[in-house]
Amino acid sequence: MKLSRRQFLKVGGTAAAATTLYSFGFKPTAEGTTRGFRLHYSREITTICPFCGVGCGIICHVRDGQLINTEGDPDHPVNEGTLCSKGSSLFNMANVYDEDGNIIPNPNRVTQVLYRAPKASEWEVVDWDWALETVAKRIKKTRDDHFIEVNSEGVTVNRNPAISWLGSAMCNNEENYLYHKTARALGLVNIDHCARL
């Protein structure tokens, strides 16, 4: 098909406008009409990407208590709006789209405390109170049973090699600082983190 210069500019301009509208959230429906701006009346809440130690900033759009969109935070000094493929998929931790393009809760998201007893093969649902109390009791017992005040050469070490702690990239700097302080107070030396924070 031959296009004059004027026709080419018209087609190109229309495509650019459609792409821009789409990127702003105006999506065409199956009926050929256009849905309203999908972030309309949403509130912006900033957070940190939970996946690695780079710590990219993300904007979460929330409407009526529901997360409806996530995207890179252009004001964040680390990523300046960009996200890698993992960070770009953050939205799907909470929600997915159904076949009609509607947002629905991600059916694979774990929303309850799951516990697998020693030697058991199945997970069971437990409540938070039971889980926290059980973890606290086991930490206390393991620390009491294995705490080493002085090593074989008579040097004071105050350490507990029987517990390992793994941090979370979901935590911010301050939370990780407290997490680390708590671990050290227990005498732990086996401390690590998926992002080495």
Interacting residue ranges for ligand SF4, rule: CB under 6 A: 49, 51-52, 54-56, 79, 83-84, 86-87
User: Minimum distance from CB of 176 to ligand SF4 (Å)?
Assistant: 14
User: Minimum distance from CB of 78 to ligand SF4 (Å)?
Assistant: 7
User: Minimum distance from CB of 73 to ligand SF4 (Å)?
Assistant: 11
User: Minimum distance from CB of 46 to ligand SF4 (Å)?
Assistant: 14
Task: Identify which of residues 68 and 90 has a Cβ nearer to ligand SF4 in the complex.
Answer: 90
Residue 126 structure tokens? 């437990």
Task: Identify which of residues 79 and 160 has a Cβ nearer to ligand SF4 in the complex.
Answer: 79
Q: Tell me the residue nearest to ligand SF4 as measured from the CB.
A: 87
Task: Identify which of residues 42 and 79 has a Cβ nearer to ligand SF4 in the complex.
Answer: 79
Task: Identify which of residues 127 and 192 has a Cβ nearer to ligand SF4 in the complex.
Answer: 192
CA distances from 4 to 9, 16, 17, 48, 63 (A): 9, 18, 20, 49, 46
Q: Which residues are registered as beta bridge partners of 97?
A: 103
